[in-house]
A and B are shown apart, each in its own frame.
Chain A
Amino acid sequence: MAEIYDYVIIGSGPSGSVLAHYLTQAGARCLMLEAGKEYAADTFPRNEMHANTQLMWNGGMDASRDASLLFLRGKVLGGGSIINQCLLDRFDDDALDDWAARSGIHDFSTVAMARHYDEVESHLALHTMTRADWNRNAELYVDGFERCGMQWAPLRRGQKDCGLGNDCMVCLGGCPRDSKQSMLVTFLRQARQQGLRVETGFEVGQVIHGARHVTVFGRQNGQSRQVYGRKCILAAGALGTTQLLLNSGLGDRLPALGQQFNCHPQLMNVALFDDFVDAHKGAFQAVKSNDPRFRKQGFKLENVFAGPIAMALLAPGYGLAHQRFMQQYRHMACIEVAVRDATPGAIAIDAQGRLKITKTMHDADWQRANAGLHAVDAIFGVLGAREIMKSPIRIGLHLMGGCVIGDNGRHSVVNPAFEVHDHPNLLIADSAIFPSAPGINPSLSIMALAHRASEVWLGSYQTPATTAPLMAEASL
């Protein structure tokens, strides 16, 4: 008998892994397919370059069509949770109310979602950064905020026994200490203990929906392969899930497919100080902006830094000028502006099935970005920065939308039961279903939504009969 799983899960990021946990816990037979490879604490690439090429799609360089935005997304077992910062925030009323209004789903509220947040948080070691975790970059950030009368708050991060001083930046290339609460050490590990089967290096190309099962077609190690599930969960991330549905030819039937793509565009700003900042040392991020005015204006300021390769991108050029810039690496402080998108982009594919992402920052987005940049100028100004450099590029790390959830088939792709409209065996509860940009770190909410989806599905879930075809009764 060729295996037919209860659920085939495509993608192993926060969505896929959390779903795998709750579904296997309920006794469902699940197969997870992941395009990337599996790494462990002691096998993660040891430098920034290899982290990009080995753990990310296209070497970390999906670009918008006009190349004004670069998108980073994980291609590795554990998905984005391997390469992210693991800052875990709940959505606020502002974000969820907007979702409820757009989707027609009233359970998008802090009250109704609290249960799901509580549940997934109970599986994660959460650490709220204290003063002891601050490095100089954080100290400058807080100092600047207080002098400018802006509100800040400590960050909450998924980490466990991170060691003295949180002293490594490499966790963006996979945590070598099993401390960062990636899926690999949390939900995915549990799901595997509960019988989840995982296949890596399996890139799904197409899903074929049928009345009773879904055929999942792809390639693994150069070989065509297909697997079968009664249900197929697309958890390949906003870009991956949307691309997969488009490549499966569902564009005609789902008018909203590919729409509402948001990415929280980020602009890194570096200030040079006379003293050493050594922002690469200690906790990489410790504090965040918490100013209601910022929220209203649609941006956040991130206390963040980057490795030398990423930094080098901020000062394009050759020779002496570039050398001088990089020489000042230890003198750099950094504050990033993260924009809550005002204008969504769109995800499409070309004739070869490759991604074609349209995402331009329009005037409304620039107003938000500029408000943030002004704040950064003010902060670095009061701190007495020698020089302030604005980012020449913008990156998107929080990729969201493309298959948004809602009760209306013309404006959404996924119904409130997390099923693709008119395709009851295709399920989605990943970052692709976000109806709009929340302006808040998304991954905890992806997990909470996944928990909610698992409850919805398991409510109707019944152990399938394992007997052979209904021979007796249909033989007439």
Chain B
Amino acid sequence: MNTALESARQSGTSHEAANIQVRHRLTQASLYQIGDINAGQAAAVFASARSGLGALSHYPLSARLQELRKVRDLIFAEREAIVDQLVAETGKCRTDALVSEIMGVMDYCDWLLRKAPSILSDQKVATPLALLGKKSRIYHEALGIVLIISPWNYPFHIGVTSIFAALAAGNSVIYKPSELTPLHGLLERLFAVSPLLRSALQVVYGAGETAQQLIAQRPAKIFFTGSARTGKRLLAQAAPLLIPVELELGGKDAMLVFDDVNLARTVAGCLWGAMTNAGQSCTSVERVFVQRTIYDAFVRMLKSEAEKLVVNAGDAGDADIGAITADFQWEIIQQHIQDAVAKGARLVCGGESLGDTLFLMPTIVESVNDTMQIQTAETFGPVLTLTPFDTEEEAVQLANQGEFGLSASVWSKDLARADRVARLLEVGAVSINNVMLTEGNPNLPFGGARQSGFGRVKGAEGLLGMTRSKAVIIDKQSKKIEANWYPYTHAKYRLFGRFMAALFGKGIKRWFGFAVSGVALENEAQKPR
């Protein structure tokens, strides 16, 4: 994945206002312009976020969720118009826009509305015996002002789900969408149904420069989804400011196919996993490893099915593979293919653009090795590589190669084997006999291992990541002096020895000692030196 900072660097964004031209991805018609902000503007954004902040976190969770429901309902009602805007700015096909972006958001939001009350409300926790009589609590408090930086591949889904979670938790959000797909005015319009939420959300448009200005204002936490390269740069800027960062970075996800699978279903899953959103998903299938015994049959069927995919954005939802959204990504994809072919890889199909358009034909490459970028770097296009393997160990070893570890899928009728393999894969998510499906369940956390980032979004874990937990313990008012308070005396020291032997020692009799020494200690504590 690639982002704001990165593309800004590539094109050497200047500091002038409105210097970024956003175009209709398919027609190249000019849509509108946005510009980077400067330090003063960033400070102003934070100032107004601060004024909105108190408001939201002081409302009870139930009220915040009630407000979120209004936005959810509006998204649902406006879905076709949102799809229009998504298709215009990304060039993706309508079904990708509707299903992955809108349906994904609806799913997550309904989960949030159902689950947030139990996840975010104050939590009672047990208090150990030694602290008898006290009560312990965890309060999941808002972090404050959080900065969410979202990428261009799922500009609506990633943006809105993060914003929803942050707002549910009571944060004030500064949201910077990718300058490639800003969806100008959309979130402002959708959130306007809830003035309360709207006051807690600042949408800031711009490229890398803007991101840097916002980070310099010290948000309470940064949530970044994008490329590993940009993620590292962002982390470097955040480190001296001690700003915590969650990074959802790229992947080179593997699909492992054993020879006991239903071929047709597996081929269909493989194609969808590799080509959905034109391959511009951080968890899309990029490397496919197939057991040698079925390798040839798999490749044959894959090729013939790939050739049926309709390359078009379509305007009625009946096209399969949409356009490549980012120009620099287009170049990376082409370069990966050229590099692979130059080093001896074989194109099973595709490998070429559709005329002079921004669509790439579905591409399948075999005879690849790790000297090729196509096998090691994130391609992020409708491209997959095929490699045969013989044994389970070899499959795991192949899949674990490389620096990424986002997600993977394992395909086998033998669920014990699939589970064994799943445990050995160094990734953040595994779908067994399915593909890219963990993202489909909002109960599950989402995030990677290794260079694919850290931190989790989605699931209880992800929602809690939007909070700071405050530990609270409650004691009664009394005249009682605690045993571990001053004065330290010989007698107390000895009694603590016995008390500990009772607490941590062995044997059933120790509980008697616990009671005796406990009472003795408490009495001793009330005495002056």
Contacts and interface: CB of A to CB of B under 8 A. Distances in A.
Interface of A: 1-4, 206, 208-215, 217, 223-226, 228, 248-250, 253, 423, 464-471, 473-476
B310 A212 contact: no
B454 interface: no
Contacts of A208: 310, 312, 314, 316, 318-319
Nearest to B317: A249
Interface string B293-328: 000000000001001101111111011000000011
B316 A249 contact: yes
B355 A3 contact: yes
Given A228-B311, A475-B7, A476-B20, A209 B357 contact: no
A214 B26 CA distance: 13
Interface string B346-363: 000000111111100100
Contacts of B361: 2
A164 B363 CA distance: 60
Given A208-B314, A253-B316, A475-B327, A213 B11 contact: no
B13 interface: yes
A226 B362 CA distance: 13
B265 to A, nearest CB: 19
30 contacts: A1-B352, A1-B353, A1-B354, A2-B311, A2-B354, A4-B354, A4-B355, A206-B318, A210-B314, A211-B26, A212-B27, A212-B357, A213-B312, A213-B357, A214-B312, A215-B312, A215-B314, A215-B319, A217-B308, A217-B310, A224-B307, A249-B316, A464-B356, A468-B353, A469-B353, A469-B356, A469-B357, A474-B23, A475-B327, A476-B13
Interface in B477-510: none
B26 A210 contact: yes
Nearest to B321: A215
Interface size grouping (class) on chain B:
35 or more
B10 interface: yes
Contacts of A217: 308, 310
A226 B179 CA distance: 34
Given A209-B316, A217-B310, A471-B327, 8 more contacts: A2-B353, A213-B357, A226-B310, A423-B315, A471-B331, A475-B327, A476-B7, A476-B21
A4 B352 CA distance: 12
B139 interface: no
B314 A474 contact: no
A243 B62 CA distance: 54
A439 B370 CA distance: 71
Contact of B26 (A212, A224, A467, A473): A212
Q: Would you list the 9 A-B pairs with minimal beta carbon distance, nearest first?
A: A4-B355, A210-B312, A211-B26, A215-B312, A224-B308, A475-B327, A2-B354, A215-B310, A476-B20
Nearest to A217: B310
A466 B355 CA distance: 8
Nearest to B359: A213
B26 A4 contact: no
B312 A4 contact: no
A464 B356 CA distance: 9
A211 B313 contact: yes
Nearest to A471: B327
Given A1-B353, A213-B354, A475-B7, A470 B28 contact: yes
B330 interface: yes
B32 to A, nearest CB: 13
Given A211-B27, A248-B318, A471-B331, A224 B312 contact: no
Nearest to B305: A224
Nearest to A252: B316
B267 to A, nearest CB: 14
Contacts, number: 109
Interface in B1-36: 7, 10-11, 13, 19-21, 23-24, 26-28
Nearest to B308: A224
A473 B28 CA distance: 10
* Best-surrounded residue of B312, B316, B354 (most CB of chain A within 10 A): B312
Given A215-B310, A476-B7, A465 B319 contact: no
Contacts of A469: 327, 330, 353, 356-358
A230 B342 CA distance: 32
A471 B23 CA distance: 12
Given A475-B328, A476-B7, A249 B318 contact: yes
Contacts of A253: 316
A458 B28 CA distance: 22
A2 B356 CA distance: 9
B207 interface: yes
Contacts of B10: 475
Contacts of B304: 223-224
A209 B314 contact: yes
Given A215-B312, A228-B311, A474 B354 contact: no
Contacts of A225: 307
A164 to B, nearest CB: 52
Contacts of B314: 208-210, 215
Contacts of A211: 24, 26-27, 313, 315
A469 B328 CA distance: 11
Contacts of A4: 354-357
A469 B23 CA distance: 13
A464 B355 CA distance: 11
B87 to A, nearest CB: 8
A473 to B, nearest CB: 8
B154 to A, nearest CB: 20
A468 B318 contact: no
A255 B356 CA distance: 34
B327 A215 contact: no
A471 B357 contact: no
Given A2-B355, A4-B355, A476 B179 contact: yes
B383 to A, nearest CB: 15
B315 A210 contact: yes
B377 to A, nearest CB: 19
Interface in B333-387: 352-358, 361
A248 B13 CA distance: 44
A1 B358 CA distance: 11
Nearest to A212: B26
Contacts of B355: 1-4, 213, 228
A62 to B, nearest CB: 26
* Best-surrounded residue of A225, A253, A468, A469 (most CB of chain B within 10 A): A469
A268 to B, nearest CB: 43
A226 B307 CA distance: 8
Nearest to B316: A249
Contacts of B23: 474
B356 A467 contact: yes
B285 to A, nearest CB: 22
A365 to B, nearest CB: 36
Contacts of B358: 469
B206 to A, nearest CB: 11
Nearest to A4: B355
Nearest to A469: B358
A248 B316 CA distance: 10
Contacts of A224: 304, 307-308
Contacts of A476: 7, 11, 13, 19-21, 179-180, 207
Contacts of A215: 310-312, 314, 319
Contact of B11 (A248, A250, A475): A475
A394 to B, nearest CB: 37
Contacts of B26: 210-212
A238 B318 CA distance: 24
Nearest to A228: B354
Contacts of B27: 211-212
